[in-house]
A = this chain, B = another copy of it.
Amino acid sequence: MRYWDDLQVGEKFGTAEYAMTAEEIVAFARQYDPQPFHTDPAAAQQSFFGEHVASGWHTAAVSMRLMVQGEMAVVGGVIGHVIEELRFPRPVRPGDRLRVVQEVVEKTEFPGRPTHGRIKLRCRTFNHDGKLVQDMTANLVIQRRGAGAV
């Protein structure tokens, strides 16, 4: 388990894969993004996308799961502070297997909270063809070594 102190700018971390099924795409969308191109595979053919695609929020949620369970295990958990940019360059489709590559791009103090530090992390989600489906730059709050149990 890593503290803020252990992370270096330029370090990269990987994750496992997550298989997106049509069933889960529909279930997530019914609850959180009820639009036909997500909830109805047949109606999706006539939509902007021309095919059944996952909600971007579903892709973001799955990416979070992969990161929480991925190589970059940090003490105290992964706490997002400000997401600077979140792009969906390509849709996610049923059958896609997603994985995330995280890279530490900046490391700064956390003014007013000496027990924690901040890192800026670029998190790219790829499908099994190696195509980029989500590109996010996030600022995380991470516990510092010797800060005690918080």
Contact = CB atoms under 8 A, between A and B. Distances in A.
Contacts of A86: 82-83, 86
Interface string A6-25: 00000000000000000000
Interface string A75-109: 01111111111111000000000000000000000
A117 interface: no
15 contacts: A32-B64, A33-B61, A35-B78, A37-B77, A47-B150, A48-B76, A55-B64, A56-B80, A57-B61, A57-B64, A58-B61, A61-B61, A81-B88, A82-B85, A85-B85
Nearest to A80: B56
Q: Secondary structure of the A side of the interface?
A: mixed
Given A48-B141, A57-B64, A69 B34 contact: yes
Total copies of this chain within the assembly: 2
Contact of A68 (B33, B46, B48): B33
Nearest to A138: B86
Nearest to A67: B33
A36 B46 CA distance: 42
A119 to B, nearest CB: 15
Contacts of A33: 61, 64-65, 68
